[in-house]
Amino acid sequence: MRAPTAEAMRAFGARLAAHLRAGDLIVLSGPLGAGKTTLVQGIAEGLKVRGPITSPTFVIARVHPSLTQGPPLVHADAYRLGGDLEVDDLDLDASLEESVTVVEWGEGLVEGLADDRLEIHIDREAGDEARVLTVRAVGPRWADTPVDRLEG
């Protein structure tokens, strides 16, 4: 899948959000500046949760409550983990069941939280603004979700 612009990336997130529900875990990977946070902004828009979605500098996990009756979005950025703070300290499992949880830089860290998860890898396309997304659905939860047909 291809997101030619940041706007397209957010639109993809919003379309994906229509398929998300409480208990879902999404793990985002890809280099700095790939567009992980931009994708979360689109998911937040689609879920209709309170913003803004930013790249947290000091706060590593943030809860964005729903503006309607939907699940909250828990947005975590594991980039700075590994020192004194470990993924367990984020206490994501406490909120997982009632939230949609999206973790940037979570690969290799948060898989143990849920047997079912969506793994999205984002890469830059050489010499272009476009990004390439690779979506991998793990577990039966996603069996009926057309994750590979969310292209705009």
Would you tell me which residues interact with Mg ion (CB under 5 A)? 36-37, 55, 104
b vs e for 21-39, b when ≥16 Cβ sit within 10 Å of the residue's Cβ? eeebbbbbbbeeebbbbbb
Q: In the complex with ligand ADP, which residue's Cβ is closer, 4 or 139? A: 4
Closest to ligand ADP by CB, 11 vs 147, is: 11
Task: State the nearest-atom distance from the C-beta of 58 to ligand ADP, in Å.
Answer: 16
Strand partners, 121: 29, 134
Residue with Cβ nearer Mg ion (28 or 150): 28
Q: Smallest gap, in angstroms, from Cβ of residue 25 to Mg ion?
A: 17
Scan for tokens 């396309």, then name that residue. Answer: 125
Q: How far is the CB of 61 from Mg ion (least distance, A)?
A: 13
Bond into 4 cis (ω within 30): no
